[in-house]
Structure 1
Amino acid sequence: MGHRLSKITTRTGDDGTTGLGDGSRVAKSSRRIEALGEVDELNAVLGLLASETADEDLRAVLAEIQHALFDLGGELCLPGAAVLGEAQVARLEALVEAYNADLPPLKEFILPGGCRAAALAHLARTVCRRAERSVVALAQEEPLHAAPRRYLNRLSDLLFVLARVYNRRAGVPDELWRREGKTPKPPRAGAMPPNGKNSSSPAA
């Protein structure tokens, strides 16, 4: 196999277009390229999170996810392809259950933050949600398999749980959300705070 990346600067995208895996060219502002970029950004943030991760189990999980996201990028790059499947979605669901089992139940909304790794996990979660929105928008315009959307949805759940895992292992408590100095009543499952942003539950 030849060297695929022997030439980095090609100038072929100077006209504002880029090539897809099937050889076609599309505008860099297209929905598909936007989704690709969001997934790539998510992968980069996870790489940053991995660099702040010492625990081998978490490093292995992040590496597994990064490879899956690269596969997702390949699927988005090739219209009609199906790379991610239900097995990858089920794997994320199993990880959510396993890591969440050892955490204390949430009774209040929490703020993104804590130790640096937890804060980065929360950042990755928000980027993941943005990537999910881009993939959903693409699916409204072009045929797209359901697995990528489901994968990103589950991944945001997992990143929320992992943020709490990072804090617990670092001995840092979750920062509870309070409004006007008062602790709110315990939220309903899947409920959203008044600002419409869900920082204590990944359910969506």
Structure 2
Amino acid sequence: MCFTMNVSLLLLLPGFQLLLIFSVGAKKQEGMVSPEDHGARLRGLWKLHIRDTLLKGKGSTPHPMREGMKQLLYCRVGIGYHLQILPSGSVGGVHKPTEHCWLKVFAMKHGVVGIRGVKSGLYLCMSGEGLAYGAEKFSDDCLLKENLEENHYTTYSSLSHPGVYLALSHKGVLRKGNSVGRHQSCTHFLPRRTP
């Protein structure tokens, strides 16, 4: 009875979740899993999943829970700007949204996300010098801590480089993330589903 119920439950789960369940189960059988090992394993699995999804081509329909929801990220600084990732890899803001402003924010683990430009196909990354840039390949620099602030805006900071925040200036230009803090309006973003 228990085996039948487990098999039917497994048939309902998408492939990535199955892979994650089996990998975690195998680790538990070997012994205790440290949080660092589990986090590293999760990042590795997610990277493989993203690579495989991208290799399938743009003709395939992504699963919304796996790929994130298509949205705009609005920064309330100045007159208000929407974050964009251009095909050249530059990151900045524009007041009126363009096709490069549509982003997919996807969860890596609790409180950690990745962001990818829908049009450019580039991942948002943060360097140790505090600059955001678009990259073709997902790396540790692309892991962002997502934090909901008291004012209901969201801040994004680098997981690899603590204290480095995604930020825009009053003119919509990218600011160095190591010169700003989470309580400044230049680091506050609000997800929007429609322009």
TM-score (norm 1): 0.26
Which structure is higher in helix share? 1
Which structure is higher in strand share? 2
Flag the structure with more relative contact order, 1 or 2, with Cα contacts below 8 A and sequence separation at least 6.
1
TM-score (norm 2): 0.27
